[in-house]
Amino acid sequence: MTDYALEAQAYWRRWLPRAHATLTDPDAFYRQLADDVQERVSTVWDVLAEIHLTPDITDHTKRAGLLQLLGREAEHTVVRALVQLPPEADTRQRAEPAAHQRRLREFDSLLAQQQATLRALLDAERSVSETSDAELAQALQLMPELLAVLGTSPDELRALGRQI
């Protein structure tokens, strides 16, 4: 098994024991989950690199460090969304392949929305004031420094009554 599969299996055994127990083929489930995580990490990393790697960063060490940081940020984002689900309080959290596919669709939809918002803001197709609080909050999950790039801050927006 890959590192993602082993991490998921350990997490689910510890924090989602009932969901883990319902798996009919745990090895296949965790292999598929690991493949899905790896695919999404690559996608998120590409988006973050596209946003953050500007032509003015010419120092090789800085570029390499930034790429490594973005890779870890992408990994953290995806693992939290697809592997580290909230611990079980009851039996509602199911580990069935259908539930996993639903989580993947939700994650992909959220990522697409975040990307669209980021692109519109960074390409000046839309201003911060034209962007809803929910869209800003979602975009900030993927790129926390977005508001600084746009010349504002969470505190400034909150002072204007924005709920982000």
User: What letter represents residue 161's amino acid?
Assistant: G
- Tens of pLDDT along 119-153? 787 778 888 889 888 888 877 776 666 676 677 77
- Tens of pLDDT along 65-117? 888 888 998 999 999 999 999 888 764 445 567 777 888 888 888 888 888 88
DSSP alpha helix (H) spans, 53-96: 60-82
Contacts of 55 (CB under 8 A, 6+ apart): none
Instruction: Quote the CA–CA distance of 139 and 22 in Å, as a whole number.
Output: 35
The answer to whether 128 and 150 have CB atoms below 8 angstroms apart is: yes
Instruction: Quote the CA–CA distance of 82 and 74 in Å, as a whole number.
Output: 12
CA–CA distances in Å: residue 140 to residues 96, 111, 112, 117, 137: 31, 12, 14, 10, 5
- Tens of pLDDT along 44-56? 999 888 888 877 8
DSSP alpha helix (H) spans, 53-163: 60-82, 97-122, 133-142, 146-149, 154-159
